[in-house]
Structure 1
């Protein structure tokens, strides 16, 4: 009997405690923080693509062009840690009309350029030395973590300001935060005004010269916050 009374007593206390928690007045709001930054570096994905009837010759031509590209990059005095081969491929392609195999060789190099004043020179040189495809150009900031921290703080400030606006007409005050959830998306640096380059085919004879208009990038943070009302 005593055991049953003890169990009932614990259940009653648990239910009372749960009800007490549920009855705590609170407000839940979202906040967004946004920091606009002028990029100070750029990542370039550049590819050499070579086609032909003989696999060995196609690979050799592709390798020779990439060697020339790497020599040019070294002359640009880039840090060796700032460029690397991203992928290499040699694939057969069957021509059903001619009933024979052709071969397609590609090499892609990823370059991190930390001095944007060298951008035009680098892009022109890459094309001149054999690059015939620019796969991607991404402008970014070297101080990303610093700006992400600023964006998070701004998001929290906006959330609190929203909560204060809502309860200001109720004669209540915003108290301490009960829960905080980070809803930020993974940051993928993209320029705003820059004309984003999709995969672009170029030839040595008509190689376009890129112009630079980096604009700004947005670094954003989003939070959900529940505040106690006093």
Structure 2
């Protein structure tokens, strides 16, 4: 019985010593950046009308939206790339005339996977009845592979930094004991003309410049210090 108690005490003591033995690490931040020209764009447009009769206004908006959707379909854009963002019907009070008016809004988002069709699409949307452009955002169809490449660059950068720190101290780094990641995609701000200029020009005009988007991954890595 005494031998068992002694063995238990030895195990506990060894465990406590292991816990109290702090690991020496070198903690670094690594960054990986990949740049690419976007090959996709998501355009958010709106059909908006105002009037005094809510029912008639809604019907007018619906007719315009139907024309817009028919045009989008004629562009052979996949249904999965077209979505209704919201539908709103608001009642507004005019203080000057002391009457009520209504505003009907419907926003549609279109993801265009072929940027060469942008001008034709925008001109057609204007002709079919949209009267607001809420914004556009660029993206890349290769985002997954770009993120993977950025991660590898970030880890490589972290390892390089840790190795440099350790070498100055005549030491080496061991295995990584912890890794945490922060990922960011910085899309370019589009440069485009106003709707009025678009509607006056032909499809040969260039009204946007996609620029370059940046995929950035930052990692925090702790390496054992030998």
Please, which of 183, 188, 191 is the counterpart of residue 191 of structure 1? 188
Is 1:47 the equivalent of 2:43? no
Please give the alpha-carbon distance, in whole angstroms, between the structure 2 residues aligned to 1:196 and 1:29: 41
Cα distance, 1:171 vs structure 2: 0.8
**Moved runs in structure 1, 4+ residues, more than 6 A?**
1-7
Query: Does the 8 Å CA contact 2:181/2:218 hold for their aligned counterparts?
Result: yes
Q: 1:88 to 1:147 in 2, by over 3 A?
A: same
User: TM-score under structure 2 normalisation?
Assistant: 0.88
Per the alignment, residue 58 of structure 1 pairs with 57
Please, which of 208, 214, 219 is the counterpart of residue 212 of structure 1? 208
Is 1:151 the equivalent of 2:147? no
Per the alignment, residue 113 of structure 1 pairs with 112
Please give the alpha-carbon distance, in whole angstroms, between the structure 2 residues aligned to 1:18 and 1:147: 41
Cα distance, 1:80 vs structure 2: 2.1
Cα distance, 1:5 vs structure 2: 6.9
Please give the alpha-carbon distance, in whole angstroms, between the structure 1 residues aligned to 2:9 and 2:83: 69
Query: Residues 35-94 of structure 1: CA distance to partner in whole angstroms, max 9, x if unpaired?
Result: 101111111111111111110121111111111111211221212222122211111111
Please give the alpha-carbon distance, in whole angstroms, between the structure 2 residues aligned to 1:92 and 1:4: 82
Query: Does the 8 Å CA contact 2:94/2:101 hold for their aligned counterparts?
Result: yes
Per the alignment, residue 33 of structure 1 pairs with 32
Please give the alpha-carbon distance, in whole angstroms, between the structure 1 residues aligned to 2:11 and 2:91: 74
Cα distance, 1:182 vs structure 2: 1.4
Query: Residues 86-143 of structure 1: CA distance to partner in whole angstroms, max 9, x if unpaired?
Result: 2111111111222121101011111110110000111111112211111120110011
Is 1:171 the equivalent of 2:170? yes
Please give the alpha-carbon distance, in whole angstroms, between the structure 1 residues aligned to 2:110 and 2:118: 11
Per the alignment, residue 81 of structure 1 pairs with 80
User: TM-score under structure 1 normalisation?
Assistant: 0.86
Please give the alpha-carbon distance, in whole angstroms, between the structure 1 residues aligned to 2:175 and 2:192: 44
Structure 2: 5+ residue runs without aligned partners?
Answer: none
Query: Does the 8 Å CA contact 1:137/1:196 hold for their aligned counterparts?
Result: no
Please give the alpha-carbon distance, in whole angstroms, between the structure 2 residues aligned to 1:153 and 1:213: 30
Per the alignment, residue 19 of structure 2 pairs with 18
